[in-house]
Amino acid sequence: MSAPADRPPSVDKLARSIADVGLPHPMLVDAARAAIAAGAPDSARSIAVATSRRMLRPVINATGTILHTNLGRAPMAWEQPERYTNLELDLTTGQRGSRMATAGALIAKACGAEDAIIVNNCAAAVLLGLGGLAEGRDVVVSRSELVEIGGGFRIPDVMARSGANLIEVGTTNRTRADDFRSAIDDPNNDVAVVLRVHQSNYTIVGFTEAPTTAQLAGLDAPLVADIGSGFLDSRCPWLKGDPPGWLADEPAARQTLDGGAGLVMFSGDKLFGGPQAGIIAGDAELVRKCAAHPLARALRPGSLVLAALQATALAYLAEDGDAIPFWRMASLTVDQLRERADAYGVGEIVDVMSTPGGGTLPGVEIPSIGVAVEGDQREALRGLDHPIIARVDHGDRSAGETTVLDLRTIHPDDDEVVAGALRSLTSTT
């Protein structure tokens, strides 16, 4: 008589044996079941650990990409006590208030707009803006600005969902104000809006032409400008020195509105330096029309986002760029970064170039300082309890790969952690 086949272990017992991973018991049960089903009960722990590592957690960004989309773009600290807020309550009258009244008004003031409303990202702002101003009517856009943003969302698709009709004018590389004027004057068209879309993640160079904001604002239809990145004011009054040279060609909300645009739309988590959000700011009547659209309720943010935006807007109005992590990092000098790198005492100090990232300022680089160690160490650095995300420089093939950690995007409070990780790596290689 043959011996009975080995029975699989108890799912519950296996799950309890890996409780130190720190996941709730039902998730440990899932890991145990997956391991048993694969015929490898001993893999339950690694499955559970992999599940834990897929969850949101703090990481150290050593890539030099300041607005790293995969790492949440603009870093910011915001903590809200476990208390109610006056989200939609007017404390003066005791009556119901507007959740947009404070954060929206502050952002409007910071960029010189009459009013502003907030939705959950810039794509939503474009969707709501077109729906509120041009549903069932025509919108004129240059062919050079029919962009595709991250995740495969395309301006023609967003426009179609808004209920507006697209009229393309000009060519890929050259569009003139007269192209827009002809579309507006055509009796077969019912143009509600002229739309300008910032080419935030690509550039067109060479034989090019595009109308100015003032030229488009002088046409017989309101100009709506999707400026994308959320750069508030080209003068950068929140910085102690002159505006950085790498921002010279970036459209700013205040100057776009001063140039005659009826509305600007931009992201909250890019150059604005706040949480993910979309802002629509400008002429009060145009903002009101957007706010009155049924989509406005579906796209509105909650109290956490609004409170974080309020704090960021207050920092702008106080001209305190140091209170906004993006601007604090972007403004660091090479000498400041080199001094920190010297204190690491490990690896080779190298000159590197940081990038703004986040689909903003394509091709723009900012001089920075990095620490380099031999080999591709990215996996080892990601596997740490406090993951470090770095980049590899392939360089000269004969010299081999090096892992580079750019100090511009590493918070100074993490310098000791990063230096310790590098020392551990170099001692084992």
Identify the pLDDT of residue 372.
96
Instruction: Say yes or no: 187 and 115 in one domain.
Output: yes
Query: Do the domain assignments include residue 95?
Result: no
Query: Do the domain assignments include residue 83?
Result: no
Identify the pLDDT of residue 80.
86
pLDDT at 397 over 60: no
Count of structural domains within the chain: 3
Instruction: Say yes or no: 199 and 287 in one domain.
Output: yes
- Characterize 308-326 residue by residue with b for buried, 16 or more Cβ atoms within 10 angstroms of its Cβ, and e for exposed: bbbbbbebbeeeebebbbb
CATH of the domain at 311: 3.40.640.10
Instruction: Say yes or no: 112 and 260 in one domain.
Output: yes
What is the per-residue pLDDT across 324-374, written as a single tens digit (0 to 9) for each?
A: 999 999 999 999 999 999 999 999 999 999 999 887 888 899 999 999 999
Residue range 200-229: mean pLDDT, rounded: 88
Q: Which pTM value belongs to this model? A: 0.91
DSSP H helical ranges for 241-389: 253-258, 284-292, 295-299, 303-317, 325-330, 334-344, 378-382
Instruction: Say yes or no: 24 and 48 in one domain.
Output: yes
Domain of residue 123 covers 101-320
- Domain finish residue from 320, 341, 360: 320
Tokens 């999707």 map to which residue?
226
The pLDDT confidence band at residue 395, using thresholds 50, 70 and 90, is low
What is the per-residue pLDDT across 51-107, written as a single tens digit (0 to 9) for each?
A: 999 999 999 999 999 999 999 999 988 888 899 999 999 999 999 999 988 999 999
CATH of the domain at 384: 3.90.1150.180
Identify the pLDDT of residue 150.
65
Instruction: Say yes or no: 187 and 40 in one domain.
Output: no
- Regarding predicted confidence, which is higher, 265 or 3? 265
pLDDT at 206 over 90: no
Query: Do the domain assignments include residue 313?
Result: yes
The pLDDT confidence band at residue 1, using thresholds 50, 70 and 90, is very low
Identify the pLDDT of residue 380.
95
Instruction: Say yes or no: 309 and 338 in one domain.
Output: no
User: What mean pLDDT is reported for the chain?
Assistant: 92
Cα angle, residue 415 at apex, residues 410 and 417 outer, rounded to 5°: 110
Query: Do the domain assignments include residue 389?
Result: yes
pLDDT at 149 over 80: no
Please tell me the total number of residues recorded for the chain in this structure.
429
Instruction: Say yes or no: 125 and 151 in one domain.
Output: yes
Instruction: Say yes or no: 26 and 64 in one domain.
Output: no
Tokens of 124: 């939503």
| Nearest by Cα to 32 from 50, 20, 18 | 18
Amino acid at the residue 348:
E
- The number of helices, as runs of H, and strands, as runs of E, in the chain is 16, 16
Measure the CA–CA gap between 340 and 153, rounded to whole angstroms: 40
Q: How far is CA 162 from the centre of its chain?
A: 23
Identify the pLDDT of residue 145.
87
What are phi and psi for residue 174, nearest 5 degrees?
A: -140, 120
Instruction: Say yes or no: 407 and 275 in one domain.
Output: no
Instruction: Say yes or no: 333 and 367 in one domain.
Output: yes
